[in-house]
Structure formats: structure tokens, C-alpha cells
Chains A and B, each alone.
Chain A
Amino acid sequence: MRYSGIRQGAYVLLGLGALAAPMVFPAYQAQLAVLWLMVVLALTWDIMGGQMGYNSFGNIVYFGLGMYVTAVVQRDLFFDVEEYAAVAGGIDAQLSVLQYFAGLSLGLLAATVVCVLVAALLGSGILGLRGHYFAICTLGLGVAAGEIASGMDYVGAGSGLVTPLYPADADSRGAFFYFYFLALATITLLTLRGLYARRFGLAINSIRDNEDKAEAMGLQTTRYKTMAWCISAFFLALAGGAYGNLIGFIDPIDVAFAGSTLGVWMVLMAILGGKGTLWGPVIGAAIFHLTQEIFWTYLLGWQRVALGFLIIVIVVFFPRGILGWFRERRHRYVVAQDASGDPA
């Protein structure tokens, strides 16, 4: 391919830039970590919505579930539930480095297992719904999860849950989470790239383009749909589990099952960048996150209103997204080239 040299160069540049960022912008470590989180959210949404045509408003369920499972494992490994709630993040709740990372690792592992299992279970039922019914059903699921969590005392109910304190200073904490999310985003991207190049990618695209036809040809659509959701759930669990630790405090509706914020933003980021493409969600996440940070800094008080406007603008005026726009131009060029000499 002609562009291969430029492309490889771009990847290298991006990689170096990503690795150097926390040193160059130390004050923005947390925001940059969140940037990579957004990339993961957008990519995992795109498997479902962009590649498979199942527009999910409920991916946030796995994000929040992963968050809670990780935190609960981290807490229950070393503390008594009531003591912990009483002390809630104070000095007495301090863990050693080994305890913290062991707890975190086990928590994340448990989170992935739980989330994938839930996806497999829910998938067989919910993925039988089509189009807008699927969208609204998953919306209900996301909100229901938040409401149920708000009522469960075991996880702190409405008061939320505090995650264990990071066992070192703020700088190393910032660096840790930055590189964690960078690694997670990279692994997610590479995994998806591999999947899309294989039969799995073909299958989910065929489900998107004509699910009835795919079924009529004997494709086991339920299996593929559920697998797609399980893959999303896997990465979302890893994202959620760590995010809970980054924020330090898990609120059931604003942080964990943040259906009206993160849950909707992941859809928009993928659309903005170009849904159904590999890099679209990445670009969309970057632009969206940057815009959001700008709004938060310069439009204080009205930032969410501005974000609401942005959502409408994206949906109404840029449904194909950035990469989608490029693709369409190239596509029209190819079709025009080919239009001559068509017998059939």
C-alpha cells in the first residue's frame, strides 16, 4: 500500500507521544488518563454499534459492574465491611503496596469474570431485540443498574463506596493510572484490529448489514452477538475497575452506572470519529474529550448545556463522523470511476 510508510511513521509518533505525555504535561496526568479511558469506551461501544449495528445504551452496565466488583474485592480482602464504611478512606484504611496491588489485580480479574458472565447471560435475551427496541432496552438496563446499586447497602447504597487509598504519593499515582489506561487502550485497539481482520469481523458486519440474510445463510448470529458483547464487557470491566480507583469514590449513578454521561458520550465519540471504523472511535474520543475539557475550563456553569448542544450538533449534522466523511469521498470517487461500461 502506498501509504504504509507514512502510516507506520504516524503510529510510531503517536506511540512516542503517548508515552512521553505525562512527563511533558504533568499537571494534566489525570485528564490524559481519562482520555485513554474514553478511547476504550468508544472502541468497546463501536464493536456493538458501529461494526455490528446494535446501538447499545447499556454498555455502562459492565463499566459500573466492573467498578463495583473490583472495589468490593479490594475492600473485602482486607477489611471488615462495617469498619471500612465507618472509617471510609481514612488513615486506618491504608494498605501496603503489596496489599493494594494484589487487591487491585484480584479485583480486576474478578470484575472481568463477572462482567463476561453477565454479558453471556443477558446477551441471549437482550440481543434478541432489534434496532430501537434494543437501544431503549439497554438504556433501561443501564439506569436500572444504577438505581439498584443505589439501594444496596452492601455497596454503600446512595452514599457510595470509597476505594482504597493508593499506597504512594500523588505523582506516582497519576503516572500509574495514566500508563494503565494507555496500556488498556492500546491492547483494546490491537485486539479489535485483529478481530476485525478475521471471520469474526466479517460475521458481525454481516449482522449489521442484513441480519435476516445472515441468519438465512445459517450464521449463528446469537453466538456472534453475545461474543461481541462479552468482549466489550471484558474491556469495560478492566476500565471500570481502574476508574473507580482513580476517582477514589464510587457513586452509583454519577460515577459507576453513569448512563446519562459516559453511557451516552461513548456513543457520540464513536459517531463523531466515524462509527464502524477502527480509528474512528479513537479520533472521536480525543476530540470529544478535548472539547469537553475546554468547555469545563471556559464555560463553567454552562459546560453541560454546551455539551448538550454538541451532542445534538454531532447527531444531526455529522452522523457519518470524520472518518466516515473521508470514506464516503473516496467511495464516491471509486464508484464514479467504475460507472462506465456496466452491462448488467
Chain B
Amino acid sequence: MDNARILVDAPIFALQLLVDGLLVGAIFALAAFGMALVWGVMNIINVVQGEFVILGGFVTVYLASAGFHPMFGVPIAALVLFVLGVIIYRAVIFRVVERDLFTSILATFGISILLQQLMNQLFGADIRNAVSGFGTVLLFDGDIAISVIKLIAFAIVFAVGAILVVFLKSSRLGQAIRATAQNPRAAKIVGVDTDRVYATTYGLNAALCGATGALVVMTWVIHPFIGLIYTVRSFMIVVVAGVGNLAAVVAAGLGLGAVENFAGFILGAEFQAAFVFSLLVIILLWRNFRLSRHRKVLR
């Protein structure tokens, strides 16, 4: 807790944490876009989210070791994961789409365990990271340092968000997706191929996670077993922001990133994960409490 005093004595530190947190939060928001999509369209809480992110990171790592700049990982991991997402949909997910939510949670949990172990077997459990080599930008006479890759990631997230919004609004597939989200039966009746919509949505989600993973591996580290925390972050963001509002998702993501960063500083890095998972519990309890005062219940 003396760390907290540092923030008060040297506010520039707090500013650094805030800026870093917001930048990192944008990356969380990217994965959350996908989570919101799958939840809204297919009514599935995708517990494999984190593993898709980590896989995107691994794709980027191997791309880098093959001599390419890791930035190429963003589109390439997105592509690879899109294909993987569609494959997983056609193999397993399509069977659980129209069942109860708990079945989909368990099924995706199973897939996540499978992927974790596969990654472990194939890539090993060591932590990996990819170097972007973009350096840092210094502000305020060198008191604030911002890594350029984080700025680029921030920009990418907004760009992708904007593209997503346009895609969903204007393109035929986007409209089909929105129609299916509102009422799958009705969509089927008017001729929408809901199966294709689901496959595309799930693949799109995986692609978004893949891109996130590429950014994550350049700004941090990954290893096969660190996926769950990304799943939980995405889930929290969507719970707070709601499924329909991408702008709210971005805002929530930024908020989460900032809060986490502060918590990690004040509580110590070894408790940051504990903080994130505890925050999940608190957010859900808080939301339920607020609803129950209106005689309602979180469903």
C-alpha cells in the first residue's frame, strides 16, 4: 500500500499508469468485440476466447522466427484463426448453438482445455514474446514513456472497430448477422442461411482474437496457459458494456485496462491476476444487486 502513496506524491507516475492502462485496455476491447458478437448472435459465451488470443500470439511468434516482422502477425494471425474458428464451429460448436447456455460454456471450456494442452505439447510451456522494435516515445521531458507499439495497437483497435461497425451496418453479410442476432427463426424464414452466419460470426470472433494475440505478444508475453484471463477480461467488458454497443465495449475495455494497471501497481504484480478474477465476481454481484433493487434478476 505504500505504492499508493507514490502515486499521490508523484502524480506523473499516476499519469504513466493511466496512459499505459488505456492503451492496453484497447487491446482487451478488441477481443471483447468478438465476445460480444458471438454472445449476441449465437447466444454462446465463448470460453475459448483466451486460447484463440494465445494462438494468435503463437502464430506471430513463429512468423517472427521465420524472419517476418511481427506486425504482419496481425492480419495473418487473424486469417489463420478465422479458418480455425470456422473449423471448430463445424466440428463442435454447431451442435451446441441451439442448446442451453451452460452446455455451450462447458463445451467451449472443453475446447479451451484441449487447445491449451495441444499448445503445450506443440509449442512448449515457455513464455514467448515478439519484438516489434518500434521503441518508445517520450513525453513531458522524459517523465512519461509510451511504447510506440502500444500506440499503433491503440490505433489498430479503433480502425478495426470502425470497420466492424460499417461491415455490420452496410454489408449483406453484416445485415444477415444482425438479423440472426435479433431473431434466428425469423431470419431463417426470410432465407438467411443461419448456419453460414454462425460459422462466419464464430470465425470472425476467432480472427479478432488472433489479431489481439498478435498485439499482445508484441506488447507483453504469452504462454499456453495464460488464456483464461483474456476470456474473463472479454466477458467482463461485455457484461459491463452490453452486447450491442461497440463504443461502450471500447470504453469499458479502456476502463478495465486502466483499473487493472493501477491495481497491479498498488497491490503488486503477483496479485494482478487475482485482482482481475476478483473484479469479475464483484462486477457480477454488483450488477445483480442493482437489478434486484428493481425486483429483477440478471438473466
Q: Per-residue CB proximity of A253-289 to B under 8 Å, as 1/0?
A: 0000000100010011001000000000000000000
Judge whether A151 and B271 touch: CB under 8 Å: yes
Is B281 touching A126 in the complex (CB atoms < 8 A)?
yes
Kindly provide the distance from the CB of B298 to the nearest chain A CB, expressed in whole angstroms.
Answer: 5
The answer to whether the Cβ of A141 comes within 8 Å of any Cβ in the partner chain is: yes
* Bound-complex Cα distance A152 to B102 (A): 33
B102, B268, B277, B289: which contacts A143 (Cβ < 8 A)?
B277
* B45, B113, B235, B285 pick with most chain A CB within 10 angstroms: B113
Q: B167 to nearest A CB, angstroms?
A: 28
Q: Do A130 and B298 touch (CB < 8 A)?
A: yes
Give chain A residues whose Cβ lies under 8 Å from the Cβ of B289. 125, 128
Kindly provide the distance from the CB of B164 to the nearest chain A CB, expressed in whole angstroms. 24
CB distance from B105 to the nearest CB of A (A): 6
- B110 proximal to A (CB < 8 A): yes
B interface footprint on A287-310 (CB within 8 Å = 1, 0 otherwise): 000000000000001101101110
* Interface 1/0 per residue, B91-126 and A, CB below 8 Å: 010011001011101110111011111101100000
- Find B103's partner among A137, A301, A309, A315 (CB 8 Å cutoff): A315
Chain A's closest residue to B239 (CB) is: A133
Q: Which of B95, B99, B278, B292 is in CB contact (< 8 Å) with A144? A: B278
Question: Given A304-B117, A305-B114, A311-B113 in contact, is the A316-B102 Cβ separation under 8 Å?
Answer: no
Give Cα A273–Cα B199 distance, bound, in whole angstroms.
Answer: 32
Q: Is the CB of B270 within 8 A of A260?
A: no
| Residue A26 interfacial (CB < 8 Å) | no
Q: Chain A's nearest CB lies how many Å from the CB of B88?
A: 10
The B-contacting residues of A in range 116-141, CB under 8 angstroms, are 125-126, 128-133, 135-137, 140-141
Majority secondary structure, B binding face: helix
CB-CB < 8 A to A141: which residues of B? 277, 281
Bits for B226-267, please: 1 = Cβ < 8 Å to A, else 0. 001000100100000000000000000000000000000000
The contact of A136 among B45, B110, B111, by CB within 8 Å, is B45
A144 touches B277 (CB 8 A): yes
Inter-chain contacts of A158 with B (CB < 8 A): 270
Within the complex, the shortest CB–CB distance from B16 to chain A, in Å, comes to: 24
Determine the chain B residues whose CB is within 8 A of the CB of A133 once the complex forms: 284, 288, 298
Q: A316 to B107: give the CA distance in the assembly, Å.
A: 7
Q: In chain A, what residue has the closest Cβ to B236?
A: A140
B102 touches A55 (CB 8 A): yes
Cβ–Cβ contact B270 & A264, under 8 A:
no
Residues of chain B lying within 8 A (CB to CB) of residue A140:
232, 277-278, 280-281, 284
Further contacts, 16 of them, CB under 8 A, given A137-B280, A158-B270: A128-B297, A130-B297, A130-B299, A133-B298, A136-B45, A137-B285, A140-B278, A141-B281, A147-B274, A267-B106, A301-B121, A308-B111, A311-B109, A314-B110, A316-B95, A316-B96
Task: Report A's interface with B, CB cutoff 8 A.
Answer: 55, 125-126, 128-133, 135-137, 140-141, 143-144, 147-148, 150-151, 158, 260, 264, 267-268, 271, 301-302, 304-305, 307-309, 311-312, 314-316, 319
- Counting from the closest, the 7 A-B pairs by CB-CB distance are A308-B114, A311-B110, A147-B274, A144-B277, A140-B280, A312-B110, A304-B117
